[in-house]
Amino acid sequence: MMKATLIKALNTAGRIQKERFSTSLNISLKESISSIVTEVDVTCEKEIIETIRQSFASHNLLGEESGFINHGSDYTWVIDPLDGTSNYAAGIPWFGVLIAVFEKQNPVMAGAYLPIEDILYFAEKDNGTYINDRKTIIQPVDLSTALFAFSTDYTRDEEYLEKGLKWYKYLVKKSRNIRTTNSLIDLMFVLEGKFGGCINLFTKVWDIGAPYLLIKEAGGVMTGLDGKAIVFELSENAFSTNYPIIAGHESLVNKLLVRLQKF
């Protein structure tokens, strides 16, 4: 029942995104020039929440647009109704839907959907990760032969930005090349083996909750850029909690963490 509900919600939001793609949109700024919202984000989240409530009305909800709805449940559905909004608004097909189900602080089920490509990703704790029903495993890769994703956003923290640029410079010199969409696609490409890894200096729980489990169940890892395990914040504080992350095969992530922490 939970898997069916999750997949239905992904498909519902994906259909809306595909129907409205490359049409005129109302765009509003959120917390910075790097963060916008459209009516498609809001509509998708409403439809996802309605789909979840039909079967799991007692579960908590944490949506990027609607906030934290606390029913006192051990289960929380974490929703990014349109990940890659800036791409979507610009008419670039780098966007999709992310939904994760947490039991207490741990993700136990996750899904992602790319509506333009019609690719669905699904993972369940201890049961592997599937791309359109095909099980996938992240393979080890050498940085020098890999494309690597690196993303950042607007920040007033000049020191943090300078450190990020040093990391970026290192990756430019050591990887085959840098490619980035600054959306869920970067992490899905890590999952598919198209990218060797991904660093993103600015993410929220709804950006990484689902990819975390998808990557983990495929044999990869996602950690903080300090090398520490990610502790997910499932409350009203989720909006102010940033997660600088690195993801990929464990061997590459560990090597990079050792190197990057020297900067």
How does pLDDT run across 97-130, given as a tens digit for each residue? 999 999 999 999 999 999 999 999 999 999 999 9
pLDDT of residue 35: 66
pTM: 0.95
Mean pLDDT of 137-143: 97
Mean pLDDT of 148-176: 94
Q: Higher confidence at residue 26 or residue 219? A: 219
CB 223 within 8 A of CB 260: no
pLDDT of residue 144: 97
Q: Which CATH architecture has domain 143-260?
A: 3-Layer(aba) Sandwich (3.40)
Domain boundaries, the chain: 2-135, 143-260
Q: What is the mean pLDDT of the chain?
A: 94
Fold of 2-135: Fructose-1,6-Bisphosphatase; Chain A, domain 1 (3.30.540)
Q: What percent of the chain has pLDDT over 70?
A: 96
DSSP 241-256: ----EEEEEHHHHHHH
Rounded distance between C-alpha atoms, residue 141 and residue 3, angstroms:
32
List the Cα angle 66/103/11 in 5-degree steps: 55
The yes-or-no verdict on residue 226 having pLDDT over 60 is: yes
Mean pLDDT of 81-89: 95
CA 67, 71, 73, 77 torsion-angle sign: negative
Percentage helix, strand, coil for the chain under 3-state DSSP, each rounded to 5: 40, 25, 35
Element (H, E) at 199: strand 197-200
Rounded distance between C-alpha atoms, residue 208 and residue 153, angstroms:
16
How does pLDDT run across 15-60, given as a tens digit for each residue? 999 999 987 677 666 655 556 688 999 999 999 999 999 999 999 9
The yes-or-no verdict on residue 14 having pLDDT over 70 is: yes
| CA distance readout (Å), 144 to 35, 91, 100, 203, 261 | 33, 32, 33, 26, 19
CB 170 within 8 A of CB 150: no
